Amino acid sequence: MNAGFPIPLQVNGATAPLCRLQGVTKSFGKLVANDDVSFSVMPGEVVALLGENGAGKSTAMNVLCGLYLPDAGTVEVDERPMALGSPAASVARGIGMVHQQFKLVPSLTAYENVSLAVDRGRVWQRRRPSDEVRRLMAEVGFDLDMGKPVWRMSLAERQQLEILRVLAQGARILILDEPTSVLSPLESERLFMLVRRIVARGRSVILISHKLSEIRQVASRLVVMRGGRVVFEGSAAGRSSEEIAGLIVGTRSVSLAARPASAPGPERLVVENLRVTGHSGRDSVHDVSFKVRGGELVAVVGVAGNGQAELLDAIGGQKPPSAGRIVASGSRKGRGFAFIPAQHLGVALAPGLSIEDNALLGVHRRKPFSVWLRRREVRRHCGRVQDTFGVVADPDSAIRRLSGGNLQRIVLGRELVGDPDLIVASYPTRGLDIAAAAQIRNALIARAAAGAAVLMASEELEECLAIATRILVMSGGRIVLDRATAQTSLNEIGRFMTAAEAS
Ligand SMILES: Nc1ncnc2c1ncn2[C@@H]1O[C@H](COP(=O)(O)OP(=O)(O)OP(=O)(O)O)[C@@H](O)[C@H]1O
Ligand SMILES: [Mg+2]
């Protein structure tokens, strides 16, 4: 274990770091989000920045790209100090970040979006990519139709475009914050191919991810944070997933409960001939029928964009179906039915309200609350919601200040309080660290084992095979495979997921 070890790092023959954080400290009120954070990034390397939810990863990256002014510390690029707290200074020194929420203008074309970022201040508008942008596209291998408007692009295409835009601005250090959380396994592979090409010419990538298998695939070095501090910095080579997990969670162990033994109870969710029409007027869900009984934990999987998200949104009442029928035990307003949408801020949570008010959303008319909201009851309820998955924060603080993982924990804590009989969860472990993900999986397993019906969408096939009793594969808006987990395999599921692509 070391932080600031005196042996000079050497990557690809280079000995001078491209960028170095030294003693970066940043507090929010009493909370020290970054405590004396120091690490370097060498040219040509992929550094994985790891740590549990709330460890301080995004804060450190926000300091690096000028969004936060630290209380103490310095950042050097090419061994020269960089002005802090200025996004323009960070961009000028070659730091670029792709945020989880993309910053593209949907009504403009791909090229117009790039142009907006690089041609600012030009007198005449170019209609086609400049030689420079075209050279960049060929060098890195971007596969994009630059004349296509962004709203017609898939999430994976939008992400490529974001990366292109940041590189076109001259980024030499590219920060990717949980980039694969919106991608299918195949799309993730493609992204990593781009990442390898990006670093091949001496640029560097800082990758934030909770998925250990992909870290082992692309990272050359690991920087692990815990409680705001860097607790490990070292080579990634030859480390197993277990070893990396150990570095992240320290001594705490992470274990998964056994899949619920399926002794199906009463039907709790019936979906018949469901059709959902998407924005473009095309059907995103075609004639889908299935049932979920008490005691079952059913996972819906598929390549992103094949109707899984729309199916769950329709069941959760977020999107009206254009045909078909949904019969659910317990109404949305009653206590029996919990829905966890894929998007938190703005759908499941009100960004401007406090944690306490958000913990109350949707349950404010149930017991113990009545016409009067007694302050003591509200406080106690919020404590229960926070404790369910261990969110340590001041209940009066604005919810949008929470880290990505903690937002997810609040939604789940709120929805699972009161032991619902039917749980519909859209990507419930997305963005969660390994310990929290295991905790949520265990909570879903426990509800199913206690007789609840659970339906979840997930992009992690290993997760589904481990915890689901049944798996539904969607492709082109239809269910193309519906099978008990014990009777299928990763191989078979993968084949059905990509069957439409291949034909
Ligand atoms: N603007 C802010 N105001 C108040 N607190 C903040 C702010 N930004 C971050 N925090 C707090 O600082 C801590 C570190 O948050 P940060 O977002 O850096 O974590 P993270 O490692 O990126 O976690 P995750 O994996 O969940 O994204 C958290 O406790 C978070 O609530
Ligand atoms: Mg984060």
**Domain tally, the chain:** 3
Instruction: Give the SS3 label for residue 254.
Output: coil
Q: Per the domain annotation, does 99 fall within a domain?
A: no
In a domain, 439, yes or no: yes
Query: Per-residue pLDDT tens for 365-388?
Result: 666 666 677 788 888 888 888 888
Tokens of 9: 């790092």
Q: Convert the pLDDT of each residue in 295-322 to its tens digit.
A: 999 999 988 778 998 999 999 888 889 9
Residue nearest to atom 2 of ligand 1 (CA): 401
Euclidean distance between CA atoms 359 and 380, whole angstroms: 10
Above 50 in pLDDT, residue 112? yes
426-447: burial string, b at 16+ Cβ within 10 Å, e else? bbbbbbbbbbbbbbbbebbbeb
Q: Where are the beta strands (DSSP E) in 189-329?
A: 204-208, 221-226, 229-235, 267-277, 283-293, 297-301, 323-328
Kindly tell me if the per-residue pLDDT of 43 is higher than 90: yes
For residue 257, being part of any structural domain is answered with no
| Whether residues 330 and 451 fall in one domain | yes
Peptide bond into 368 cis (omega under 30): yes
Name all residues whose Cβ lies below 6 A of ligand 1.
28, 31, 33, 51, 53-59, 401-406
Nearest atom within ligand 1 for CA of residue 210: 25
Query: What local confidence, expressed as pLDDT, does residue 125 receive?
Result: 56
Residue 461 within any structural domain of the chain = yes
Look-up: residue for tokens 């994009």? 144
Judge if 299 and 278 occupy the same domain.
yes
Q: Do 314 and 284 meet the contact criterion of CB atoms below 8 Å apart?
A: no
Structure tokens at 158: 């939008």
**CB contact set of 406 (below 8 Å; sequence gap of 6+):** 53, 54, 391, 393
Q: Which of 35, 58, 389 to mutate to test the pocket of ligand 1 (most atoms within 8 A of CB)?
A: 58
Check pLDDT > 90 for residue 255: no
| CATH number of the domain residue 82 falls in | 3.40.50.300
- Point out the domain boundary residue: 195, 224, 250: 250
Q: How far is the CA of 254 from the centre of ligand 2 (A)?
A: 21
Same domain (yes/no): 120, 230: no
CA of 34 to the centre of ligand 1 (A): 9
Kindly state the helix (H) or strand (E) to which residue 59 belongs, with its residue range. helix 57-64
- Which pLDDT does position 4 carry in this prediction? 41
pLDDT score of 122:
56
Single out the residue of 384, 344, 347 nearest to residue 368, CA to CA: 384
- For 53, phi and psi rounded to 5 degrees? -55, 130
| Owning domain of residue 152 | 104-171
What is the per-residue pLDDT across 428-473, written as a single tens digit (0 to 9) for each?
A: 988 888 888 888 899 999 999 999 999 999 988 888 888 999 999 9
Same domain, 280 and 355: yes
Pocket test for ligand 1, best of 28, 231, 408 (most atoms within 8 A of CB): 28
Sequence-separated (6 or more) residues with CB below 8 Å from residue 309: 342, 426, 457
Q: Are residues 405 and 433 in the same domain?
A: yes
For ligand 2, the distance from its centroid to the CA atom of residue 408, given in whole angstroms, is: 12
Atom of ligand 1 minimally distant from the CA of 61 = 18
Question: How big is the chain by its Cα radius of gyration, in Å?
Answer: 24
The pick from 401, 408, 430, 434 for probing ligand 1's pocket by mutation, whose C-beta has the most ligand atoms within 8 angstroms, reads 401
